[in-house]
Amino acid sequence: MSDDGIRLLGPDGKRVAHPTYSGDADPGELRALYRDMALARRLDTEGVTLQRQGELALWPSLLGQEAAQVGSVRALREGDRVFPSYREHAVALARGVDPLALFRLFRGVDHGAWDPDAHDVHLYTLVIGSQTLHATGYAHGLTKDGSDAAVIAYFGDGATSQGDVAEAFNFAAVYDAPIVFFCQNNQFAISEPNERQTRVPLHQRAQGFGFPGVRVDGNDVLAVRAVTRAALEHVRSGAGPFLIEAYTYRMGAHTTSDDPTRYRDAAEVERWRAKDPLLRLDRLLRAEHAADDAFFAEVEAEGEALAARIREGVRGMPAPRAEELFDHVYAEENSLVERERAEFAAYQAAFEEV
Amino acid sequence: MTDTAERYREFRLPDVGEGLQDAEIIRWLVAPGDTVTDGQPVCEVETAKAAVELPVPFAGRVRELLFPEGATVDVGAVIIRVDTGEEREVPVAGSGRTPVLVGYGAAPAPATRRSRRRPTAPPRPTAPAAKPPVRKLAKDLGVDLTAIVPTGPRGDVTREDVHAAARTSEPVPAQEPHTPPSPDETRIPVTGVRKATARAMVASAFTAPHVTEFVIVDVTRTMKLIRRLKEHPDMTGVRVGPLLLAARAFLLAVRRNPEINASWDEERQEIVRKHRVNLGIAAATPRGLLVPTIADADRRTLPELAAALDDLVVTAKEGRTPPAALRGGTVTLTNIGVFGIDTGTPILNPGESAILALGTIAPRPWVHRGKVVPRQVTTLALSFDHRLVDGELGSRVLADTAAVLHDPDLLFTRA
């Protein structure tokens, strides 16, 4: 096993044998995984571009993490619940969340207003690591309900420094909550490198809490899928939580407000570029004759269409009504909120169009 | 949109980093006449946070780049105009979105709304909206805000608007004061030495944490020595005065405490020990305050030091100090005593760690050998950079200087 973790598909596009995990997939599955990753990457590029045009307040790029996200989300069953952080665009897209919903959040039109029940994808959580607690509670609830669904909670290497994550690990372990903790170790907590986050490899953290943890090559979509499948089986069986450390690399900036050239060197980025998740699957698909040029052209065209839809959708997004502030404070009517709404309306009425 | 020609579309500098005010255009990636596609990077800008490429949000042919490379541009300013080649409907004023600040720099300009006149409503400001720095700029340039047609994304007055208004209101040379002349004041443009002094003093005062210590010292014996030295054949042709002896005493103190002869390198987080002692002398000159230096001042004999001081003062007074003589100082002496002043808190010459101020020397009642008698007394003040000079070191330097002026025999024992 390399330092990058369990691997079934090398950067050269060649399969790697593993005693426990299998990368078996029929050509259709391989193509679907590629398509998921390619569309996510195109969506992400558009996010960065729209931010640079002043259309978005912020965009956190997933570039480089496509395999970690697609491999894991495609291991889920219907009814399994996803708790993302804020970079899981490939996960949301694969699960069928309207991509424009993500863009509304990063444009500041709403605070993330998709229905979490519609696709079993919880809202993005921008507070670092707190979603692991929500996810653990939800997973514990599933046990109480007698459901056989599982939960996957996404977080980053930086979040492992948060108390919330340690609390979630402990609670989930003590109550055997059916949850997979999926840590995308993209090497940087904004500008802080791994060595300033942890003394031990992150997957080893689980041991201290009494549950298994493994590292998987996060740029290998087949390995991520296989390991996540096994982890889900484990948590569904009532054996308690499971930690996956998907070892990957954030190729872009932390967000569009960040400049990674200030804290990491170009040579390192180049080393990771050689491990690109799409490139290796591209190579495998061609080597195994599972896809031809027409397929790649088709995916590219689909990506362009998605980008165009996003572009138009974002540029045409109406500004929110100021009154919406009051709409979702409480599920039911609240007298204080209603009074404030009335005061605000009166204030607004003090102006008139001329 | 301010765009009136249908075919041309404008791209305004967006806020690419959450709350930035401006950005510098590093490089244009396209030139007028080039064809661009929607999303194609057209320039590289550097903000306080990052250097990034900006993709243009429409396709067409570049008609105009509005700023040169190196220009600092306010967020919201049009930077590039593109001929989209298609007739567009001109948006009705106020209904168009100008995606600048987070999409909704976008909202219709507030200029299209006004307060309904209600007795309870507070009076609306008559001047158009402008950010505080823009207001200040207008005030500094003497521009009347109410006379400006705002072009900002929210109907506010921009920096460019103010500059433009300032330009039109002053058809005469730029040296002219911007405000209309008032009989009660005269405005002098800040240039040359004044400007350099201001910059240096601000840089020094707000980067080096200053500490100033004072000591009052009986220099009667030094004054007697000066009288004798003036008659001495070795000192023929040079001026001998308190400044010379104070310089000598200070140099001895620096030599005994070489750690003070150093500077702070903020960028590299290093303390730079200087192996040469170059003494700066603050001098009032026709050009303004200058600090010419005497290189290797500590290695000179007293007559050499005196000659160098004379030369320096004469050259400075004639306004002929060469630029090379203004560089390389490591410590500075300022003689505010010549103005009859007791003491002060001198500001460090940037890049140095110590400056000594020599106060006026005057007869004062002083306890000498148990009796109050008139003695020649002065006050010394030493400011030092507390980043690298602690109170102990600063105090030693000041005390050593005072000791020599009090007891000039030390000139021989410590030389």
Residue type, position B360, single letter = T
Q: Residue A240: left (phi > 0), alpha (psi -120 to 50), or beta?
A: left
Do A102 and A113 share a domain, yes or no? yes
Do A46 and A118 share a domain, yes or no? yes
Among B38, B54, B116, the residue with its CB nearest the CB of A350 is B116
Q: Which residue of A has its CA nearest to B53?
A: A52
Do A136 and A273 share a domain, yes or no? yes
- Bridge partners, B213 (sequence order): B382
Write the DSSP symbol of residue A339.
H
| Domain contains A195 | yes
Domain, as residue range, for A325: 321-354
Q: How close A277 gets to chain B, by Cα (Å)?
A: 25
With contacts defined as CB-CB under 8 Å, which chain B residues touch A51?
16
Q: How close B143 gets to chain A, by Cα (Å)?
A: 28
**B8-108 — its CATH code?**
2.40.50.100
With contacts defined as CB-CB under 8 Å, which chain B residues touch A53?
11, 14, 54-57, 99
**Mean pLDDT in consecutive groups of 10 residues from the start of chain A, 354 residues:** 85 96 95 98 97 94 98 97 98 97 94 93 96 98 96 97 97 98 97 92 97 98 98 97 98 92 92 97 96 97 97 93 87 91 87 62
Cβ–Cβ < 8 Å for A92, A65: no
CATH assignment of the domain containing A220: 3.40.50.970
Q: Indicate which of B22, B42, B52, B124 best probes the interface with A, i.e. most A CBs within 10 Å of its own CB.
A: B52
Do A140 and A59 share a domain, yes or no? yes
Residues 32-61 of A with CB under 8 A from B: 46, 49, 51-58
Produce one character per residue of A158-173: b if its CB has 16 or more CB atoms within 10 Å, e if not.
bbbbbebbbebbbbbb
- Catalytic residue list contains B163: no
Do A201 and A316 share a domain, yes or no? yes
- Cα A131 to Cα A129: distance, rounded to the nearest angstrom: 5
Do A313 and A344 share a domain, yes or no? no
Sorted by sequence, the CB contacts under 8 Å of residue B84 that are 6+ apart come out as: B7, B8, B9, B58, B59, B60
Q: How many CB pairs under 8 A join A and B?
A: 87
**B193-413 — its CATH code?**
3.30.559.10
For position B110, what pLDDT does the model report?
39
Do A256 and B17 make contact, defined as CB atoms within 8 angstroms? yes
pLDDT < 50 stretches in chain B: 1-5, 91-125, 171-177
Do A230 and A343 share a domain, yes or no? no
CA distances from B87 to B4, B38, B39 (A): 11, 17, 21
Do B105 and A54 make contact, defined as CB atoms within 8 angstroms? yes
Do A257 and A274 share a domain, yes or no? yes
Q: Over the stretch B229-264, which tens digit does the pLDDT of each residue have?
A: 999 999 988 999 999 999 999 999 999 999 999 999
Six token digits for residue A290: 């599972």
Do A317 and B100 make contact, defined as CB atoms within 8 angstroms? no
Cβ–Cβ < 8 Å for B415, B256: no
Q: How close A267 gets to chain B, by Cα (Å)?
A: 19
Hey, is A57 helix, strand or coil? coil
Do A252 and A340 share a domain, yes or no? no
Among A53, A54, A354, the residue with its CB nearest the CB of B114 is A354
Among A49, A54, A259, the residue with its CB nearest the CB of B15 is A54
Of the residues B163, B178, B210, B386, which is catalytic? B386
For position B137, what pLDDT does the model report?
86
Could you tell me if A316 lies within 8 Å of chain B, comparing CB atoms? no
Do A281 and A354 share a domain, yes or no? no
Q: How close B17 gets to chain A, by Cα (Å)?
A: 4
Q: H helices of B142-241, where?
A: 159-168, 192-207, 220-231
- Which residue shows structure tokens 């405490």? B257
Give the largest CA-CA distance in chain B. Answer: 100
Do B52 and A259 make contact, defined as CB atoms within 8 angstroms? yes
Q: Which residue of A has its CA nearest to B115?
A: A351
By DSSP bridging, strand A151-156 and strand A81-83 are parallel
Write the DSSP symbol of residue A5.
B
Q: Which residue of A has its CA nearest to B113?
A: A353
Do A75 and A87 share a domain, yes or no? yes
Q: Over the stretch B302-321, which tens digit does the pLDDT of each residue have?
A: 999 999 999 988 888 877 77
Do A350 and B11 make contact, defined as CB atoms within 8 angstroms? no
- Which residue shows structure tokens 């069928």? A96
Q: Which residue of A has its CA nearest to B118?
A: A350
- Cα A224 to Cα A238: distance, rounded to the nearest angstrom: 22
ipTM: 0.77
- Which residue shows structure tokens 């946070």? B49
Sequence ranges of the domains in chain B: 8-108, 132-189, 193-413
Residues 89-108 of A with CB under 8 A from B: 107-108
- Bridge partners, B263 (sequence order): B272
Q: Residue A79: left (phi > 0), alpha (psi -120 to 50), or beta?
A: left
Going through B144-300 in order, the beta strands assigned E by DSSP cover: 210-218, 262-265, 270-273, 279-281, 283-285, 288-290, 293-294
Residue type, position A326, single letter = F
Q: Which residue of B has its CA nearest to A51?
A: B16
Q: Which residue of A has its CA nearest to B79?
A: A53
For position B147, what pLDDT does the model report?
78
Cβ–Cβ < 8 Å for A41, A251: no
Q: How close B114 gets to chain A, by Cα (Å)?
A: 6
First to last CA, chain B: 77
Interface residues from chain B to A (CB-CB < 8 Å): 11-12, 14-18, 38-39, 49-57, 99-107, 112-116, 118, 121
φ and ψ of B40, to 5 deg: -80, 130
Structural domain tally of chain A?
2
Do A174 and A244 share a domain, yes or no? yes
Six token digits for residue A11: 């950067």
Among A46, A262, A351, the residue with its CB nearest the CB of B115 is A351
Do A58 and B18 make contact, defined as CB atoms within 8 angstroms? yes
Q: How many CA atoms lie within 13 A of B5 on its CB side?
A: 10
